[in-house]
Chains A and B, each alone.
Chain A
Amino acid sequence: MTVSANPNNDHWLWGVYTNHMVTHSFGDTTFVYNRQSGTTHIFNLVSMAMIEFLSEKPRSMNEIIRDFPAYMGVDAAECPAGVVRRLFGELDEIGLLELVQS
């Protein structure tokens, strides 16, 4: 199953290109315009939470898998690794993730 757009080493830290984003929220939905690509994306509460989580500080893939469930206030079983990896892959694919340190 394709779950992540990129290979990941544990010492690679990932952040978000917040400068590239223009956001407008309507209730639970956020429209995100990416200045670099010129494309608009629709985010839900989970994808926005991941953006906020990675905006706090850059994190490695292992840290993201380990800590994102607690950030969301749920058990690891409710937010399994596959969900986190796919979400990471989706954000990476639209060019919003920044490899801060490799």
Chain B
Amino acid sequence: MVEQDNKKEFQERRRQLLRLGAAGVPMVLTLKASAAQPVHSALDCSFVIPTTSNILVDSDGRAWIGSRGVREKSGELKVSDIDKFRQQADFVFPNGSAPSKFRPDTCDTQKGWTTCYRFYEIDSNTNITPADYLNSSGNWSLTGAKGLYLALASQYIDTYGNDGGFPGISCLTSILTYLEYQ
């Protein structure tokens, strides 16, 4: 019995690590004498998303980033494509990560099609300049697929900091740090 509990606990710890891995946190750390991470200093920095980075969002604000496509017909998404997208995702973000305006308004599933998710597409080599999404009073005004990407990237920074291979992080960090000290 005790052994079974231990096994369950062990499995849960591995699951927790997998969730961190899904958000891009490294699973291997290397001991180094010094590990200085270059950080952009320019506030007008921009970054390129190298590969297709589509984003799937559910009604709880969970988000998946991946390169697969999801078929859409009259505002409904194909359920089998969604399952594959989730399984093949590069990054997964927990409940509440996507702001409410990016979430689906309704949730209904019929005959293999659903309205319970929204799908945003970002092509490879898309350039994002975070400062474009700051309004004149210095507040974020995030719209469209790129705005959602920035919202997720800033969630990522809040949780994991400037590490882990999420494109654009160091550029965005420099802006967020600047805003924080204004």
Interfacial residues, chain A to chain B (CB-CB below 8 A): 1-3, 28, 39-47, 49-50, 72-74, 76-83, 85-87, 90-91, 94
Total A-B Cβ pairs within 8 A = 101
Q: A28-B13, A39-B31 are in contact. Are A76 and B87 (CB under 8 A)?
A: yes
Taking the complex as formed, is B17 at the interface, i.e. its CB lies under 8 A from any CB of chain A?
yes
Cα–Cα, bound, A2→B87 (Å): 18
Contact A83 B165 (CB under 8 A): no
Say whether, besides A39-B30, A83-B18, A1 and B165 are in contact (CB < 8 Å). yes
Question: Considering the chains assembled together, what is the distance between the CA atoms of A81 and B64 in angstroms?
Answer: 12
Q: Which of B21-29, B103-111, B112-120 forms contacts with chain A?
A: B21-29
Encoded as 1 (CB less than 8 Å from any A CB) or 0, chain B from 1 to 39 comes to 000000000110111011101101011111100000000
Q: Does B89 contact A (CB under 8 A)?
A: yes
The distance in angstroms between the C-alpha atoms of A1 and B156, with both chains bound, is 15
Contact A1 B13 (CB under 8 A): no
Q: How large is the interface on B (under 10, 10 to 19, 20 to 34, 35 or more residues)?
A: 35 or more
Question: Does B88 interact with chain A (Cβ within 8 Å)?
Answer: yes
Within B66-114, the residues touching A (CB, 8 Å) are 66-67, 83, 86-92
Residues in A whose Cβ lies below 8 Å from that of B161: none
Taking a contact as CB atoms under 8 Å apart, the answer to whether A90 and B92 are in contact is: no
Output the residue of B30, B83, B165 with the most chain A CB within 10 A. Answer: B30
**A91 to chain B: closest residue by CB:** B28
18 A–B contacts, CB within 8 A, in A order: A1-B167, A28-B13, A41-B31, A44-B27, A46-B21, A47-B28, A49-B14, A72-B18, A73-B11, A76-B87, A77-B87, A78-B15, A80-B92, A82-B66, A83-B21, A86-B21, A87-B27, A91-B28
